Structure 1
């Protein structure tokens, strides 16, 4: 172990590092639990792979027992690393990367090389986040601050077919904070206040939470969050212009308990981001951005142990994300079109949806069943209002899309060592605009078999299919790129993508392995996901030349070829006959009470099976470890995380070599009401750019947090 750490640290400070060591999402619950999470006591359940998840199948299950590539990130881990962006939160989840620009708080999630246009179903309190704007970055960003998150559940691959249409890459479900995050079960009301400060642009943070239990009839929870970040500097001390932003957010939740087993719940999440940038390349027209990202939910749940055949959940939701942009400084291309400062450009996506399901638990002929039946649907209304040149409305067209689905899933326990999960999902979609319309439907099956030949070691195999309807943008996009000039053509004949996923894995769990009370957990899997009719941009039409100077007539190319770019073609979203993604993942954790160590690794390769060209959306391979120690009766936790990425994708679109990072953390819990945290990220001030990101990442950054709680019993 000492040799491994020495080599890891040496690699992290060299430009030739081959692997990424990112912190495992299965990092253990830290002994220095924070005051705002005092409702989750340190009861010895030290490994997060023992945390309950429902994402892969709607029924509660420990992550370590889940027959899928599942991971959980808890509030304790988010606090330990002082996460300030979603990329911090998900940094160590195997198979998951987060695309971002330093100049926009919005982020996009990639799972196993799949991203954009809903291939990863992102949920906030069960509500779909379908906002998307076309540009040079990701197509499918969402806005959410880590301080609002209570837990993150991740399922990789198209195996979570009970969680809505389109998730051929996987599902990431964010649960926002609740009253249980600040109050213990025996506490009636209370408040928590957190103050945060960070160097290198991390800025200031204030997070206020209050909650009250009104006897056994109801509870209410409220949160107010303010974050102000400044421009950061990368590892070469270059200031990243426009990396500052300001967030004001509020969250309100209530639960009503009218009778035993009945719960009526509601939530309202309001976020407002203010920032300025020159687009996702930093070279376009300069805009002032005012983004609102709001989510509203209303739900009903019935669950009583004495009525096992009725575990009913009904939820309706509405999400709206809007970016109200104003031109500050137009480029020469925009200026030639008459665009002036103050010209507006608005992007919006409104999504209304529902999710109704019931799980019945019963036995037939000695077999235990958990039969889940449900229906879900969502309608996306995308609108672009462009008075700033027309490029925005051309590349992010307005349109409507409706998704309707129904599913049935049966989890069957045959013997203590044999179980199976069978499911069918029906999907249907309709897409329309003023110019065209399309529709389609399909039934997607899933079958999983789990075998435990030796107590503590369970093998599983899965075949699952997924279905993703074309998005509004992929179908309707139409316009000319500003520079270099080429056309992007619509394609109303796009066919939906169909994923065929084969996966095999093993779950390992043992207690008291080396010492009494220690715990070891591990999940490993291999997969191959073949996608028919994969949608990607391709070059079409004749080859032509365009001038290198904006506004110069194309005829100059015939007389002075050196002033022109040669070999330009139009672009169009088309169906590729088949794309294949395959790889392997590992996450493991060992906790011996006085300390812990976790590891995580990801290897993914993706290719266009027709051209044999690599898929640019596949991130480099990663490996990670987190090591921590507990002192002073578990009040103090200190440790390090080591992060390495290899250079396997350098020949695709990534100009960066492999790199390694070292982070340090310390958390001290004075008592259940006062706690403090210190995190130092990128200790060696490495210069690096995460794969497909537009800007280099921050250099050396220190973050400090202080949390104070008051509660009454």
Structure 2
């Protein structure tokens, strides 16, 4: 593995430096120059794109290009792929993406994304239609969940590592950008209006889902789109046949979008996504107080875009957004500890996070000194306001404190095509933050550089190398948390002196793309990358203060431990979020696909390790090594697609946490398209009813599960 520079590049934190250093040479995708070597073609709406690496993405930069041409560890999950495997959770959607895992609780629809061993508190920037999802509640599970049903997703773009610094502050692990459904997902370009209805049924708790979509184009002046999703799931059984209690939930969701085109090149857009989840559980441990949860997760966006081929200097995007996630909890049955505090059924505990943000950028395309440039300038900002109202014991307010955090950033990025075989990307990002709450105030700022070089010595083989830095401000909870854990009893202390995390990522990779390899019309694509990401001032919980003993009997005085030590837990210490000096993560990733017309095969693999550089201890958030492959065949004039997905996870983490040995999974799928308006799908997950627990999860995953789907479309030209 490549050895890191000990101190890397450190730039001035002055905003002026951002402008002075703007002309840093760099590039990757200047559309005009890049088209000379690799044409960029966007797949038509509803086209069956098997090679996701040929899909258009904009996530690692602000310019469009195919994933295979991106000089970064990037991947795309298309709507066709989601439908083929009938994904019902985000973990299903991202299962085949290298370097990515999803931590989930079977008793809560919320999920957290882990990229290259980093998650929680915004280390992965999760976007829905460009809007940050910063909701966070502290507990025994993930500290940074979001809510989104796969039926609402049109496409997912993932970038691994701190290289997508044009997409907001904090993403030292990477970016997961979810685009919700649009009118182009249901109507072809020549269709004026129409509707799509999908019905799904499943065994083993998969339950029932209905998805109704409709859209209309009002000439060339506007279009509107609406979607309604209802999902009702039941308790599922694991591979041993045991029922996982409280794994049922109910979702009611609506999505509305509009686009206005007042003049050539101008577009106004807006969207409203409303989701309401209902479920009951005993917390993320399954043994705490039982709560009834009603979660409202809403996202609103409003944007303006100007882009016209005759004006290469102006490709302007302006977006504002507002996201809210509110979990209204009501006590059903208090635990013994809560009962001693006088908590009664019906007592409320409310968590909420509201994020107000904006993102403005412009890309200018021009030639200078014989080189093609795509120069992008942008600013973005977000205000997180977290509020906890706790009348159910006080532990919720202590562990998820109320507070406010303001993030602001600006960036400059230049993508340069020097020759048909040489290109580069150079970028600088300025970040600043302010945080306050509970009488504590904190702030900070920094400039983070990025430089990427891509070389194509032989047509179809392009090597790239990247050095990039990222900056993550401490979260509200990490800074302000203060309270006593119910059992065993210990204190969690605030830390107003937390320093932001700084990541320094060194990465190398190769993109491979060839057509007509073994037969006319076949296609081969592959991305291979190796990386080493060093995080200075990494924030984690550590034991602090004196060692003491804690009684195991509620109400028993601590002094009794001196006379009856067998009734006490020994060696307990307080906990506090602290900077642990340095963490290091390194690994390799592979994503490859081959399509020969009559079928396709894909492979995704991850090798990874991480440790605390000071103590040598492993980082618990690093996922196990994993490889998955999908094989599909097309039959009957491509109307029928059948195939299997195999996933193998090794036992490399079984002694770290969640002591589970490695496991293998087999999924089957079949999709039949009667015509362009009627299709049916069958999926069988965990064919051999394997008992397993996904790494970092608290409950075992479902055993054998079958899903059935029917989709019917009506459209008028």
- Deviation (angstroms), 1:46: 4.0
1:498 corresponds to:
502
2:47 corresponds to:
41
Partner secondary structure for residue 695 of structure 2: coil
2:169 corresponds to:
165
- Deviation (angstroms), 1:102: 0.4
Partner secondary structure for residue 392 of structure 1: helix
- Deviation (angstroms), 1:38: 8.7
Partner secondary structure for residue 555 of structure 1: helix
Alpha-carbon separation, structure 2, partners of 1:667 and 1:325: 40
1:9 corresponds to:
none
1:706 corresponds, among 672, 696, 710, to 710
Structure 1: state its 5+ residue gaps.
1-36
> Greater relative contact order: 1 or 2 (C-alpha under 8 angstroms, separation 6 or more)?
1
Contact conserved, 2:272 with 2:301, CA < 8 A, in 1? yes
Runs (4 or more) in structure 1 with deviation over 3 Å come to none
Show the 5 A alignment for 1:644-659.
Answer: 644-659=648-663
Work out whether 1:129 is the aligned partner of 2:133.
Answer: yes
TM-score by length of 1: 0.94
Partner secondary structure for residue 47 of structure 2: coil
Contact conserved, 1:38 with 1:182, CA < 8 A, in 2? no
Partner secondary structure for residue 367 of structure 2: strand
1:78 corresponds to:
82
For 1:237-281, what per-residue CA distance to the aligned partner results, in whole angstroms no more than 9, with x for missing partners? 000000000000000000000000000000000000000000001
Alpha-carbon separation, structure 2, partners of 1:47 and 1:124: 23
- Deviation (angstroms), 1:39: 3.0
Alpha-carbon separation, structure 2, partners of 1:179 and 1:506: 35
2:224 corresponds to:
220
With over 3 angstroms needed to count, the CA separation of the structure-2 counterparts of 1:707 and 1:432, relative to structure 1, is same
- Deviation (angstroms), 1:448: 0.1
- Deviation (angstroms), 1:549: 2.0
Partner secondary structure for residue 580 of structure 2: strand
1:354 corresponds to:
358
User: What is the aligned length?
Assistant: 675
Work out whether 1:179 is the aligned partner of 2:190.
Answer: no
1:372 corresponds to:
376
Alpha-carbon separation, structure 1, partners of 2:558 and 2:262: 72
Structure 2: state its 5+ residue gaps.
1-42
1:208 corresponds to:
212
1:278 corresponds to:
282
Partner secondary structure for residue 520 of structure 2: coil
Alpha-carbon separation, structure 2, partners of 1:681 and 1:496: 42
1:627 corresponds to:
631
Work out whether 1:686 is the aligned partner of 2:690.
Answer: yes
Alpha-carbon separation, structure 1, partners of 2:640 and 2:558: 68
Work out whether 1:143 is the aligned partner of 2:147.
Answer: yes
For 1:158-183, what per-residue CA distance to the aligned partner results, in whole angstroms no more than 9, with x for missing partners? 00000000000000000000000000
Alpha-carbon separation, structure 2, partners of 1:677 and 1:466: 42
1:103 corresponds to:
107
2:568 corresponds to:
564
Alpha-carbon separation, structure 1, partners of 2:46 and 2:86: 18
- Deviation (angstroms), 1:461: 0.2
Show the 5 A alignment for 1:236-385.
Answer: 236-385=240-389
1:401 corresponds to:
405
Contact conserved, 2:438 with 2:480, CA < 8 A, in 1? no
For 1:669-697, what per-residue CA distance to the aligned partner results, in whole angstroms no more than 9, with x for missing partners? 00000000000000000000000101100
Partner secondary structure for residue 504 of structure 1: strand
Alpha-carbon separation, structure 2, partners of 1:592 and 1:97: 29
2:603 corresponds to:
599
Alpha-carbon separation, structure 2, partners of 1:419 and 1:445: 17
Contact conserved, 1:647 with 1:657, CA < 8 A, in 2? yes
TM-score by length of 2: 0.94
Contact conserved, 1:255 with 1:266, CA < 8 A, in 2? yes
- Deviation (angstroms), 1:547: 1.2
For 1:10-53, what per-residue CA distance to the aligned partner results, in whole angstroms no more than 9, with x for missing partners? xxxxxxxxxxxxxxxxxxxxxxxxxxx993234xx541101000
Alpha-carbon separation, structure 2, partners of 1:434 and 1:47: 51
Alpha-carbon separation, structure 2, partners of 1:106 and 1:202: 16
Partner secondary structure for residue 556 of structure 1: helix
Contact conserved, 2:331 with 2:347, CA < 8 A, in 1? yes
Alpha-carbon separation, structure 2, partners of 1:141 and 1:284: 20
For 1:201-238, what per-residue CA distance to the aligned partner results, in whole angstroms no more than 9, with x for missing partners? 00000000000000000000000000000000000000
For 1:76-110, what per-residue CA distance to the aligned partner results, in whole angstroms no more than 9, with x for missing partners? 00000000000000001000000000000000000
1:15 corresponds to:
none
